[in-house]
Homo-oligomer: A and B are copies of this chain.
């Protein structure tokens, strides 16, 4: 009589996410996850083919929490895009250690496809079509991916900014002045401000 499986893929992903949240992505290993679920290392290979598949389950778990329903259609379209962008940013912000995994596996996440479907719908409402709409979606993705990374790998308020403020003003006049203003901009304002630039530019005429 076959013994029943004692683990679900979701439990496995959850254990891996726990390891990442606790010890960072560098702490993620098959051995560490096995210990977390109380099994031998090799038992994991009953549930996943390899580490790559384990990582895929982790990002499915994380991105699965992203709401992909369209915001209320009477909301102005730039606000609707901002709502969609913040849903991703908030989820990822809760698990900064998975950022590199999301970058690497993002094109295999159906949840992100569904998110994109909703976003393209909003861009269509904004009057975009054809090539402009393709470029609109792609530059939104690029901005969100890049901004999330800058935020978690060298935030505006972190030691990097202090190092910039300490630059010799004779050699870096603009950067040392900019660093002073940077302290007055928090992460939310920075993300929202950059996104607003992008959205304005997507529907304005060429100068």
Contacts and interface: CB of A to CB of B under 8 A. Distances in A.
Secondary structure of the A side of the interface? helix
A198 B195 CA distance: 9
Contact of A143 (B146, B156, B163, B204): B146
Interface in A161-207: 163-164, 167, 172-175, 178, 181-182, 184-185, 189-190, 193-202, 204, 206-207
Interface stretch (A16-24, A28-36, A58-66, A98-106): A98-106
Contacts of A4: none
A46 interface: no
A131 B201 contact: no
Nearest to A164: B113
Q: How large is the interface on A (under 10, 10 to 19, 20 to 34, 35 or more residues)?
A: 35 or more
Contacts of A97: none
Interface stretch (A5-13, A37-45, A116-124): A116-124
Interface string A140-160: 011111110110011010001
B185 A121 contact: no
Contacts of A141: 146, 150
Report the copy number of this chain in the oligomer. Answer: 2
A150 B174 CA distance: 30
A91 interface: no
A137 interface: yes
Contacts of A194: 135, 138-139, 142-143
B190 A201 contact: no
6 contacts: A117-B174, A120-B174, A131-B184, A142-B143, A142-B146, A142-B150
Given A133-B178, A201-B202, 20 more contacts: A104-B153, A107-B160, A117-B172, A120-B178, A131-B181, A131-B184, A132-B193, A134-B181, A134-B190, A135-B194, A138-B156, A139-B197, A141-B146, A142-B149, A142-B150, A142-B194, A200-B201, A200-B204, A201-B201, A201-B204
